[in-house]
């Protein structure tokens, strides 16, 4: 994500109920969108999920704005070393540039998430415009990985607008987050590790980035914190599949 104004956008989501955050740098995503209608168990819902599939001392790592030709392979190596699966929210333009890295992500068993084609703010877009963008993005991902399962959608900048309903209609669960640590403006590896330790909560989805800029510090922080968290009894899970 290009996040210079990300934090301000999150804070002005008056139309969506926001969960309380543990830290000043954290940002929560609405648990339920107003007007969301129930769906059958095998259907995506227009509820923005920010939790893991299991309750307790679990967390789910998610990475936005890739694939990146340098940072994503390094991140994949770190995740493999520590035996952790994550969710990669893919920016369509970057997928077109680096389809081979998308294949590496899928081959390693990680989950794929649609993060739009051009990383636009869709808050005021019509349903038809949103649908066209999401369908194009999924098509580009499947050009790289035929028959890829794309179970999630994440709106750039946290600007959901009408995207949750459209994404659910396309079979993708809107994916939010419970913890965000500001790695789009790298504060140093040690600071990222500190923010992660203080910001995570049981059963929460963590937002990080493998693309959109130099993510060296993010990769280093992930490589460092996974064994530390495991030693403290944390386990790594996938995001909830349904709202």
Cα–Cα distance for residue pair 129/123, rounded to 1 Å: 11
Could you report how far apart the first and last alpha carbons of the chain are, in Å?
24
Residue showing tokens 């035929």: 146
Q: Helix, strand, or coil here: 80? A: helix
Cα–Cα distance for residue pair 123/135, rounded to 1 Å: 17
Which entry of 6, 94, 98, 209 is annotated as an active-site residue? 209
Which entry of 6, 50, 64, 210 is annotated as an active-site residue? 64
Rounded to the nearest angstrom, the gap between the alpha carbon of residue 143 and the centroid of all alpha carbons in its chain is: 21
Burial class (CB in 10 A: 0-12, 13-18, 19+), 70: middle
Cα–Cα distance for residue pair 28/57, rounded to 1 Å: 18
**Phi-psi label, residue 131: left if phi above 0, alpha if psi -120 to 50, beta otherwise:** alpha
Active-site residue flag, 214: no
Tokens of 215: 């993510």
Active-site residue flag, 118: no
Strands 58-66 and 204-209: parallel
Active site residues: 64, 209
């Amino acid at each position: 994500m290009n996040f210079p104004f990300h934090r301000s956008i999150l804070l002005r989501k008056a139309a969506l109920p926001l969960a309380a955050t543990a830290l000043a740098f954290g940002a929560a995503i609405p648990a339920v969108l107003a007007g969301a209608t129930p769906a059958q168990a095998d259907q995506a819902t227009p509820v923005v999920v920010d939790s893991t599939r299991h309750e307790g001392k679990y967390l789910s790592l998610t990475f936005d704005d890739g694939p990146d030709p340098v940072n994503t392979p390094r991140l994949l190596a770190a995740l493999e070393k520590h035996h952790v699966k994550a969710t990669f929210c893919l920016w369509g333009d970057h997928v077109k540039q680096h389809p081979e890295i998308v294949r590496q992500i899928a081959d390693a068993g990680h989950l794929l998430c649609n993060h739009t084609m051009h990383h636009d703010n869709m808050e005021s877009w019509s349903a038809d415009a949103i649908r066209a963008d999401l369908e194009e993005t999924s098509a580009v991902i499947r050009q790289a990985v035929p028959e890829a399962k794309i179970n999630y959608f994440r709106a750039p900048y946290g600007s959901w607008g009408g995207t949750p309903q459209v994404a659910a209609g396309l079979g993708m669960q809107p994916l939010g987050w419970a913890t965000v640590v500001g790695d789009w403006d790298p504060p140093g590896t040690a600071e990222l590790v500190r923010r992660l330790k203080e910001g995570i909560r049981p059963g929460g989805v963590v937002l990080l980035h493998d693309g959109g800029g130099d993510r060296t510090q993010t990769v280093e922080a992930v490589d460092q914190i996974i064994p530390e968290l495991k030693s403290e009894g944390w386990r790594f899970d996938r995001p909830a599949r349904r709202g």
